[in-house]
Structure 1
Amino acid sequence: MYNLTATLAKIIFFFIAKIELKNTEKLPTSGGYVVTCAHRGWLEIIALGISLPRPIHFMAKKELFKRKIIASFLSSIKAFPVDRENPSPSSIKTPVKLLKSGEVVGIFPSGTRTAENAPVKRGAITIASLAKVPIVPVTYEGPANLTDVWKYRKATITIGDPFIVEKVSKDEISAYTEKLEREIHGPIAMK
């Protein structure tokens, strides 16, 4: 289902918008990694999913999984639910297991969609540290919704320099979180 959905999305994007992917040479070619991006709309999820060379398992708020049809669709495209209000051990175990098995996990570290640069939470740093995989910061500039697609018709995804979280003390997690925040908050598109 993931491949079918990605193919359909690529066809739709081909006709209505162009996606430019920059710095692909920075992406790890093997092993798991965490891809992170600011969350300003829902189109960056689709753009990332169809542009990066490997399937992405996106963390998604559990509220999206309340309706069976939507939950089934999200599961089929490799998304998995997370309780943002009351995170359980599975909030970390699921992505760590995926990463250790060589998969790519997508995390929007601000935890919610916003037009502004929302503060980044430490979950992505913690997960990458536990799985011992790199974090790949990504910036997305482009339409946030379908109305914007018709107006602007172009999106740019820029891959940043991957980095490894080597230590996990509270102060070091804070420093890495601040670094990630600087990396993913590129210019806000469509001001």
Structure 2
Amino acid sequence: MFHLGQFLARNFFRLFYRVKVHGKDNIPKDKGVLLCSNHIHYLDPPLVGSFIKREIRFMAKAELFEAPILKHLIPKLGAFPINRGQSDRKAMRTGLKLLKEGEIVGVFPEGTRSKSGQLKEGLAGVGFFALRSNAAIVPCAVIGPYRLFKTVHIVYGEPLNIDQLKEEKASPETATKAIMQGIQHLLDDHHKKMN
């Protein structure tokens, strides 16, 4: 089901948006990956997931699993729920298990869409995943705005090295800041190239 969804989403984006994909080769092919992206639009999850070959298990807000159509569709696409605004231990255990099994777990550390397009502060949960797993941590930047038949860029960065943070037994909040800096760097670097 996921690969069918990928195919349909890819063709949707090619038809309605001029998507440019950068850095696909930065995603490891054979190990767990924590894929961390900014969040500017409700189309971000299918965009982030549709142009790479591997399946992505997205962490999605629990409310989506109660919506009439989505509650049947989202689990088939590999997503799993998280209750926002509280410590959701079940979601954390599920995410860690998937990473240890070599899956890609897709997260939007901001927790919700940024209406301004500016990167907001990330939530500590992503830092928890980074510190507690041996997954590659790949920052990702979606650069819009989404306008029909206009270009949208998606940039997959090089995996971040947080070995020193692990040695220092850094807090999840500190690890999250490092990841957000990685995403911001991709945004800044892309804007420099465009100017």
TM-score strictly above 0.5: yes
Is the counterpart of residue 156 in structure 1 residue 153 in structure 2?
yes
Deviation at 1:25, TM superposition (A): 2.5
Q: 2:139 aligns with which of 137, 149, 167?
A: 137
Residue identity in the other structure for 1:97: K
Contact 1:132 1:164 in 2 (8 A): no
Task: Spell out the pairing of 1:9-24 with structure 2 (5 A cutoff).
Answer: 9-24=9-24
CA distance in 1, matches of 2:3, 2:156: 22
Contact 1:35 1:107 in 2 (8 A): yes
Secondary structure at the aligned position of 1:78 is classed as: coil
Q: 1:55-80 CA distances to partner (integer Å, 9 max, x unpaired)?
A: 11110110111135311111011111
CA distance in 2, matches of 1:22, 1:127: 25
Give unpaired runs (5+ residues) of structure 2.
none
Q: 1:126 aligns with which of 122, 125, 128?
A: 128
CA distance in 1, matches of 2:88, 2:143: 33
CA distance in 1, matches of 2:131, 2:96: 9
Q: 1:114-159 CA distances to partner (integer Å, 9 max, x unpaired)?
A: 1332111121121122221121001111234xxx2x1x52111112
Secondary structure at the aligned position of 1:57 is classed as: strand
Residue identity in the other structure for 2:126: A
Name 1:46's counterpart in structure 2: 46
From the superposition, tell whether residues 168 and 68 of structure 1 become closer, same or farther in structure 2 (CA, over 3 Å): farther
Q: CA RMSD in A?
A: 2.1
Contact 2:59 2:82 in 1 (8 A): yes
Name 1:33's counterpart in structure 2: 33
Name 1:180's counterpart in structure 2: 179
- Percent identical among aligned pairs is 28
Q: Which moved more, 1:33-42 or 1:121-130?
A: 121-130
Residue identity in the other structure for 1:5: G
**TM-score computed with the length of structure 1 as normaliser:** 0.86
CA distance in 2, matches of 1:131, 1:179: 16
Q: How many residues align?
A: 184
From the superposition, tell whether residues 58 and 168 of structure 1 become closer, same or farther in structure 2 (CA, over 3 Å): farther
Q: Which runs of 4+ in 1 moved over 6 A?
A: none
**TM-score computed with the length of structure 2 as normaliser:** 0.85
Residue identity in the other structure for 1:20: K
Name 1:56's counterpart in structure 2: 56
Contact 1:129 1:168 in 2 (8 A): no
Deviation at 1:171, TM superposition (A): 4.1
Q: Which moved more, 1:105-114 or 1:81-90?
A: 81-90
Give unpaired runs (5+ residues) of structure 1.
none
